[in-house]
Amino acid sequence: MSGVVRRHDPGRRGFASDNNAGVHPEVLAAIALANGGHQPAYGSDDYTVHLQQIFRRHFGERAVAYPVFSGTGANIITLQALLPRWGAVIVADSAHIFTDECGAPEKMAGIKCYPVATPDGKLTPEVIDRQAWGWGNEHRAQPTAVSLSQCTELGTCYSPAEIRAICDHAHELGMLVHVDGARLANAAAFLGEPMRRFTTDAGVDAVSFGGTKNGLLLGEAVVVLDSERVRDVAYLRMMSMQLASKMRFLSVQFEALLGGDLWLRSAMHANAMATRLESAVVGIDGVQLMRPVQANSVFAVLPREVSARLRKRYPFYVWNERTEEVRWMCAFDTTIDDVDNFADALVEEMRHT
């Protein structure tokens, strides 16, 4: 490749984000397979047409998938499809759309977010009721949707019954339900359930399905589960600058991921590495694990100076500067050696406190 040189150390490992991992080799091979020749643009290609069958195997015969570039784009498009112009969405105060998307719902779509405090990142009907009021009051943005994250930003997972309870309650109040599924595959791996069990079958109206965190080069998908309630996604995708011209290269990645068991293999591996990391650090004096590991993240508190030194060796994020809480993320390509070497480094740094 003329003029191209490697500009990073492929041996450099870390636990900052599953976004930091590379592309799964099976996905790269699929992209190469879809290359060559001409195909219709903007989603009329053979790969995108076939993709609908694949998503329906996972989410039911009424599911319709719209590939997009990014998770934020998927969330914004889906919320716009669920909400009227004067609508508001109820979210956990730790939700990604509230804390990590730079106000995109408000600024790009004019959507008001009503946050509610949750200790574990999970909504319940009772928690939702703190903001589910004011209908008919023209001075208050109308709460017309609920958005929950599966897995949550705190690494916790909803059971199918918990999501069913939320959906039943929301629908009784006239609200629709969105699932931010950036790590939906990790939740399925933890629960041991097919994805439709805690989405379509639980009453969810639409999902932002994540691919990038599970080995795709780029790409997420808006998945409409109830087309009677959720409409106009095609127009909203174009208007939101999320319509890919060469969409075959987005769609074929999802085919590689979901056409077989790659999605589950990768998620199960990432989860298993997080469980191994939990076991490796649980007994280290001075390190406090903050919650049980359910997916591919580990949250812990350790001394500030240890955290600073350790991050120079293995990148990871400080989750809460005030409490010194950190987050360690595992990915589809995290190895046993990565985990064990990191745990050894943590032990070594703790000796110097």
| pLDDT score at 227 | 84
Q: Does CATH number 3.40.190.10 belong to domain 262-350?
A: no
pLDDT tens per residue across span 132-156: 999 999 999 999 999 999 999 999 9
Residues 306-319, mean pLDDT to the nearest whole number: 96
Residues 160-189, mean pLDDT to the nearest whole number: 98
Domain residue spans in the chain? 25-258, 262-350
What tokens were used for 287? 């390190």
Q: What is the DSSP letter of 288?
A: E
| pLDDT score at 1 | 63
Is-contact 71 207, C-beta < 8 A? no
Per-chain mean pLDDT for the chain: 96
| pLDDT score at 237 | 97
| pLDDT score at 148 | 98
pLDDT tens per residue across span 283-302: 899 999 999 999 999 999 99
CA dist 152 and 98 (Å) reads 12
| pLDDT score at 229 | 86
pLDDT tens per residue across span 19-60: 999 999 999 999 999 999 999 999 999 999 999 999 999 999
CA dist 144 and 264 (Å) reads 33
Using the predicted structure, report yes or no on whether residue 6 has a pLDDT greater than 80: yes
Residues 75-97, mean pLDDT to the nearest whole number: 96
Using the predicted structure, report yes or no on whether residue 157 has a pLDDT greater than 90: yes
CA dist 335 and 66 (Å) reads 33
Using the predicted structure, report yes or no on whether residue 353 has a pLDDT greater than 80: no
Residues 292-316, mean pLDDT to the nearest whole number: 96
Determine the distance from the C-alpha atom of residue 173 to the mean position of all C-alpha atoms in its chain, rounded to a whole number.
27
Domain at 25-258: CATH architecture: 3-Layer(aba) Sandwich (3.40)
Other Cβ atoms closer than 10 A to 16: 15
Q: Decide which of 34 and 2 is more confident.
A: 34
Determine the distance from the C-alpha atom of residue 155 to the mean position of all C-alpha atoms in its chain, rounded to a whole number.
11
Residues 275-279, mean pLDDT to the nearest whole number: 98
Measured distance between the N- and C-terminal CA atoms of the chain, rounded to whole angstroms: 48
